């Protein structure tokens, strides 16, 4: 801790993303004067470690924000809807990881490598985008700036950790059950996830797309600042613990070659290019787990249209897809003097 830092709260501190937020704050040496771990009454009293010290989880209450400068929320939409306005009213800047505020026109939806300038409009609430959207727009923004993307077609292959710890446990239990010839139990997902793929993430909407798919459509346009981009998505849950993968096809207004895209992304912030098919080098979840970067490979021209590119994009969904992006937003706020210290 430091006398020069901020008073920081992590809401939902005992969850997978909350714990990762604490880890990222520590690893990046974020300037902290005081840290509070906040959670539901059920989790209050639990002990968490931060910078070699033990901190006690406190119950989330309106009064918890009285002395906080910054609060990183990862406790679900209903909690965010209730407590983020309370925190904001008290002068605490909220970076919220739920979907509660993402499409609110008054709330910036930010990926620091893509649209940091949107932070100047914040009114003490900033939304952290969906994990799948974050990792897609990081490499697409440099391409959009050069060649203007007209259309995006994306299919995702999303790890079970995106659903939470219960889903991670369920995948492990199902694998063990199958190998021990026992009955498989399905509690988190409607069907077995072990050795299976579920083309179903979040609820189905009236248009037969899922909520997750429409998040990618709407959030991409808002983050990129361009409503003219046409986006269509199919999101799939796969039996992987950590790391989302995406097959992305883009159509651009101006011709850009795969070679040019590869060179462009090699210089792009937050991107690591792994792309040498002859040597079997391409991104995979096992490479991305625990890493900060968005990994891109299988970059190739789409030979079915005039101005098309295919990419394979992989990132750690708990880290860059949630916790790291939230902390990077907070770092950008400090850099731009958009948060009191």
Strands (E), the chain: 6-11, 32-39, 47-50, 53-56, 58-59, 70-73, 93-96, 125-127, 149-158, 230-237, 244-252, 271-273, 294-301, 308-315
Q: Write out the chain's pLDDT in tens, 341 residues.
A: 455 799 999 999 999 999 999 999 999 999 999 999 999 999 999 999 999 999 999 999 999 999 999 999 999 999 999 999 999 999 999 999 999 999 999 999 999 999 999 999 999 999 999 999 999 999 999 999 999 999 999 999 999 999 999 999 999 999 999 999 999 999 999 999 999 999 999 999 999 999 999 999 999 999 999 999 999 999 999 999 999 999 999 999 999 999 999 999 999 999 999 999 999 999 999 999 999 999 999 999 999 999 999 999 999 999 999 999 999 999 999 999 999 75
Strands 47-50 and 125-127, sheet pairing = unpaired
Asked if 326 and 313 sit in the same domain, the reply is no
Asked if 279 and 162 sit in the same domain, the reply is yes
**Would 340 be classed as within a structural domain?**
no
Q: Catalytic site residue 131?
A: yes
- Residue-level pLDDT at 340: 73
Asked if 159 and 307 sit in the same domain, the reply is yes
Asked if 326 and 191 sit in the same domain, the reply is no
- Check which CATH number belongs to the domain holding 117 and give it: 3.40.50.720
At 170 the three-state DSSP class reads helix
DSSP string, 94-161: EEE-SSSSTT-TTS-B--TTT-GGGGGG-SSEEEPPPHHHHHHHHHHHHHHHHH-EEEEEEEEEE-GG
- Please tell me the distance from the alpha carbon of residue 283 to that of residue 14, in angstroms, as a whole number: 30
The range of the structural domain enclosing residue 299 comes to: 133-317
**Would 1 be classed as within a structural domain?**
no
- Residue-level pLDDT at 3: 58
Of the listed 92, 122, 144, 244, which one is catalytic?
Answer: 244
**Would 180 be classed as within a structural domain?**
yes
**Would 341 be classed as within a structural domain?**
no
Asked if 125 and 261 sit in the same domain, the reply is no
Q: Catalytic site residue 92?
A: no
Asked if 329 and 204 sit in the same domain, the reply is no
Asked if 96 and 223 sit in the same domain, the reply is no
Of the listed 122, 131, 186, 200, which one is catalytic?
Answer: 131
- Residue-level pLDDT at 316: 98
**Would 191 be classed as within a structural domain?**
yes
Asked if 182 and 124 sit in the same domain, the reply is no
Asked if 290 and 330 sit in the same domain, the reply is no
Q: What is the count of structural domains for the chain?
A: 2
Asked if 277 and 159 sit in the same domain, the reply is yes
- Please tell me the distance from the alpha carbon of residue 112 to that of residue 128, in angstroms, as a whole number: 10
Asked if 182 and 306 sit in the same domain, the reply is yes
- Residue-level pLDDT at 4: 79
Asked if 88 and 210 sit in the same domain, the reply is no
What predicted TM-score, i.e. pTM, was given to this entire model?
Answer: 0.96
């Amino acid at each position: 801790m430091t006398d020069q830092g901020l008073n920081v709260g992590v809401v939902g501190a005992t969850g997978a993303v909350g714990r990762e937020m604490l880890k990222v704050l520590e690893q990046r040496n974020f300037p902290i004067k005081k840290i509070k771990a906040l959670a539901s009454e059920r989790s209050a009293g639990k002990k968490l470690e931060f910078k070699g010290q033990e901190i006690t989880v406190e119950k989330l209450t309106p009064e918890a924000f009285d002395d906080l400068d910054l609060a990183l929320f990862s406790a679900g939409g209903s909690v965010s809807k209730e407590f983020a306005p309370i925190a904001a009213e008290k002068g605490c800047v909220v970076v919220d990881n739920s979907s509660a505020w993402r499409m609110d026109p008054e709330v910036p939806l930010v990926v620091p490598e893509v649209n940091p300038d949107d932070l100047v409009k914040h009114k003490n609430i900033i939304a952290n985008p969906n994990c799948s959207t974050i990792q897609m727009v990081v490499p697409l923004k440099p391409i959009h700036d050069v060649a203007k993307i007209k259309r995006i077609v994306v299919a995702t292959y999303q790890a079970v950790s995106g659903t939470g710890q219960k889903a991670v446990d369920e995948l492990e239990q199902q694998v063990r059950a199958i190998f021990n010839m026992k009955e498989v139990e399905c509690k988190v997902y409607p069907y077995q996830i072990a050795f299976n793929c579920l083309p179903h993430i979040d609820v189905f909407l009236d248009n037969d797309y899922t909520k997750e798919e429409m998040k990618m459509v709407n959030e991409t346009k808002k983050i990129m600042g361009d409503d003219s981009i046409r986006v269509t998505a199919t999101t799939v849950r796969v039996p992987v613990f950590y790391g989302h993968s995406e097959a992305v096809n883009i159509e651009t207004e101006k011709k850009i070659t795969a070679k040019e895209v590869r060179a462009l992304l090699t210089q792009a912030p937050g991107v690591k290019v792994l792309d040498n098919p002859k040597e079997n080098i391409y991104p995979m979840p096992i490479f991305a787990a625990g890493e900060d970067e968005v990994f891109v490979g299988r970059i190739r021209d789409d030979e079915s249209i005039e101005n098309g590119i295919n990419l394979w994009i992989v990132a750690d969904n708990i880290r860059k897809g949630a916790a790291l992006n939230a902390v990077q937003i907070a770092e950008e706020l400090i850099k731009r003097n958009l948060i009191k210290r």
